[in-house]
Structure 1
Amino acid sequence: MRLNEWQLAFEAFLLEDATTSPPALSTSLIGGPTLDVDTGLAIYHNAYKARLLEVLRNDFPAIHHWMGDEEFDGLASAYIRRYPSTHYSLRWLGRGFEAFIREYLMPEQSAPLSELAALEWAFTLAFDALPGVPLTIEAMAALSAQEWPALQLKPTPSVQWLEQRFNSLAVWRSVKEATDFPDSSALQDPQVCLVWRNDLLCNYRSLEPAEANALNGLFNEGWNFAELCAELAVIYGEGAPLQAVTWLKQWVHDGLLERLER
């Protein structure tokens, strides 16, 4: 058996549910004085699956806490069987977990769980994102009066925008802070939650509807500062520019924004 053939056979064995190795693989190996070939291969097989489950437990601790060891491991094992790891880094193992939950479970189960999975994965994405070039208070102060109306902004690479219909943030926070675990419940109104990294720390914050609409306009509608003020005038009247500057200062302080250069 050539090396690449042996590697493919070993990979196929690790991905199978059965721990019994195929003859072509086992006969290509030599056992030791205290460990025979089949036992050694079974150890590798079990260790590989255990490592994958450990990664998913660490990436989705709130779901693991919610479901418990047995149910979570059953769900995670089904996910690994359906979508085996294809990347050299286990960092990406959980990227399809949210979609798999929606595909695998009944809607009444999958809706809150998949939303929680999206929230937990957002922290992973935010932590590993490129730093970008966040706008600073000093750079804002250096803008001329002529530059402000046309000023356009975009999110820094780490910003994750989540629309939530359940109390997923409260569920996640209870596990993070080791407080009483709340029952899952639907929110009276959908809510936007931001997750991002600033100064090597991941942050999160829920947005009130007016602030969420303003950020959505900047991020997705291409509003410049003058257009932002015009939209806010519908709600805040003459106080719109002050509200825009207040929010802008907070967003810059939080490290949410980069200047969009045309």
Structure 2
Amino acid sequence: MRLNDWQLAFERYLLGEHVQPAQALSGSLLGGPTLDVDTGLAIYHHAYRARLHEVLDSDFPSVRQGLGDPAFSSLVAAYLQHSPSRHFSLRWLGQGFADFIQDWVAGQGLPLAELARLEWAFTLAFDAPEATVLTVPAMAALDVAQWPALQLRLAPCVQWLAQRYNSLEQWRAVKDRAVFPQAALLEQEQVCLVWRTQRICRYRSLAPDEAWALQGMCEGHWSFAELCAGLAVTYGEGAPLQAASWLKQWVEEGLVLRSGP
């Protein structure tokens, strides 16, 4: 058997469901005095799958808590069968986990998928590329004439999550080792941001008006003057002060970069 053929045979064995190897593979190997070929291959087969399970368990502890260990193990097995690891780094193994959950878990699919997206957001935020975010000193150095045209965009690490369920409460319960609450529909959809500053992931929920303002600035390409004009409907003469207050918070938190002129 050529090396390439042997490697492909070993890969098929690792990815397959059966512990019993094909005769061509086992026949190409030699056992030792204390470990026969089939037992040695079975150890590899089990260890590979155990490692994949360990990665998903580490990335999605809240989903595991919500389902319970037996159901989570079944979910992981089904997901790995549907979406086997195809990247050299296991960091990407859970990329499609939330979408898979939505279709796989009857009755609980939507809240559990949302919880999985929240947990995956922390992975994405932590591994996102570095960027030169806007700082308070840089803001202070702006000329007065530059403020009306000021435009922003979100830093690459910022993950924007629209949540319909109490996923954040469930996630916090697992972190705090508190009683895990049942999934519940929120009275109003809320936005949760997950981002990274100085290698630490942070998160917070946004009130609807702040979410509207931040989305308008970063996705709608509003200028600061346009933001103030939009806020004037609700805040009247206090619109510039409210806009400046939010802007200062976004900058202090490391959420935004300057864009445009």
Which range, TM-score by smaller chain? Answer: over 0.9
More displaced stretch, 139-148 vs 96-105 = 96-105
- Mapped to 2, the partners of 1:169 and 1:257 lie a distance apart of 23
What is the CA–CA distance in structure 2 between the aligned matches of 1:172 and 1:208, rounded to whole Å? 19
Describe the SS at the equivalent of 1:222.
coil
Q: How far, CA to CA, are the matches of 1:220 and 1:124 in structure 2?
A: 23
Instruction: Find the counterpart in structure 1 of residue 34 from structure 2.
Output: 34
| Counterpart in the other structure of 1:182 | 181
Q: Give 2:200's aligned residue.
A: 201
Q: What is the aligned partner in structure 1 of residue 157 from structure 2?
A: 158
Partner of 2:63: 63
Cα distance in structure 2, aligned partners of 1:246 and 1:35:
68
Aligned mates of 2:218, 2:240 — CA distance in 1: 19
- Match of residue 135 from structure 2: 136
Q: CA deviation at 1:102?
A: 1.4
* CA distance in 2 between partners of 1:131 and 1:249 (Å): 21
Where 1:20 maps in the other structure, the secondary structure is coil
Residue aligned with 1:146, SS = helix
Residue 242 of structure 2 corresponds to 243
Equivalent residue letter for 1:44: Y
Match of 2:5 in 1: 5
Aligned to 2:212: 213
Deviations 1:200-224 (A, max 9, x none): 1100100100000001101211101
CA distance in 1, matches of 2:260, 2:8: 48
CA distance in 1, matches of 2:153, 2:219: 9
Aligned-partner residue type, residue 71 of structure 1: A
Q: Which residue of 2 aligns with 1:20?
A: 20
Question: What residue in structure 1 maps to residue 171 of structure 2?
Answer: 172
Query: CA-to-partner distance for each residue in 1:187-244, whole Å, 9 max, x for gaps?
Result: 0111000000011110010010000000110121110100110111111000000001
Is it true that 1:192 corresponds to 2:198 in the alignment?
A: no
State the identity %.
59
Give 2:98's aligned residue: 98
State the aligned residue count. 261
TM-score (norm 2): 0.99
The secondary structure found in structure 1 opposite 2:145 is coil
Q: Distance in 2 between matches of 1:5 and 1:69?
A: 38
Amino acid at match of 1:65: Q
What is the rounded CA distance, in whole Å, between the counterparts of 1:13 and 1:85 in structure 2?
14
Ranges in structure 1 where 5+ consecutive residues have no aligned partner:
none
Runs of 4 or more off by more than 3 Å in structure 1?
Answer: none
3-state SS of paired residue (1:87): coil
Distance, in Å, in 2 between the alignment partners of 1:112 and 1:183 is 10
Shift of 1:261: 3.8
* Aligned-pair Cα RMSD in Å: 0.8
Hey, what's the Cα distance between the residues in 2 that align with 1:204 and 1:91? 21
3-state SS, counterpart of residue 95 of structure 1: coil
Distance 2:54 2:66 in 1: 16
1:105 Cα deviation from its structure 2 partner: 2.5
**Normalised TM-score (structure 1):** 0.98
Cα deviation, residue 179, structure 1: 1.3
Separation in structure 2 between the aligned mates of residue 243 and residue 4 of structure 1, nearest angstrom: 64
Pairwise CA distance, 1:37? 0.3
**Aligned-pair distance for 1:103?**
2.1
